[in-house]
Structure 1
């Protein structure tokens, strides 16, 4: 399990836990007077999509347009892919070819 995200709000953190699949755990820690909630789980693109991370929903729309040979924002697509390359290295994931 890896640290996927942190939350300031308990309800938001518990909702996130309910969204992802696989092994998961929510741990809280106190930072001064504030409580922080750390979400640990399996680092998969599916879980990141469910957590609405890394602009994956936007990428999905761009890839759909691209695959249909319709106009799409190529510069935004490149920006998202650059961010995903960093995420892929950090979480030891491969970016699916059809996203590129």
Structure 2
């Protein structure tokens, strides 16, 4: 399991834990006078998509437009892919070829 995300509010963290699949755990910790909630789980593209991380829902729309030969925001697409390269390295994932 890896740390997937950190939340400031318990209800937000509890909703997130219900979204992802596989082994998961929600842990709280004090940071000074505030409590933060760490979501641990399996680092998969599916789980990251469900958590709406790394602009994956936006990427899905851009890839669909690209595949249909429709005009799409190429600059934004490149920005998201760059961010995914970082995420792939961090979570030891491979970016699916059909996203590139």
- Whole-angstrom CA distance in 2 between matches of 1:48 and 1:75: 22
Deviations 1:10-53 (A, max 9, x none): 00000000000000000000111100000000000000000010
Deviation of 1:97 (Å): 0.5
What residue number does 1:78 align with? Answer: 78
* Superposition pairs of residues 9-88 of structure 1, within 5 angstroms: 9-88=9-88
Root-mean-square deviation over aligned CA pairs: 0.4
- Which segments of structure 1 move beyond 4 Å, counting only runs of 4 or more? none
Q: Number of matched residues?
A: 100
Q: Secondary structure at the match of 2:37?
A: strand
* Unmatched 5+ stretches in structure 1: none
* Unmatched 5+ stretches in structure 2: none
- Whole-angstrom CA distance in 2 between matches of 1:77 and 1:31: 36
- Whole-angstrom CA distance in 1 between matches of 2:31 and 2:58: 33
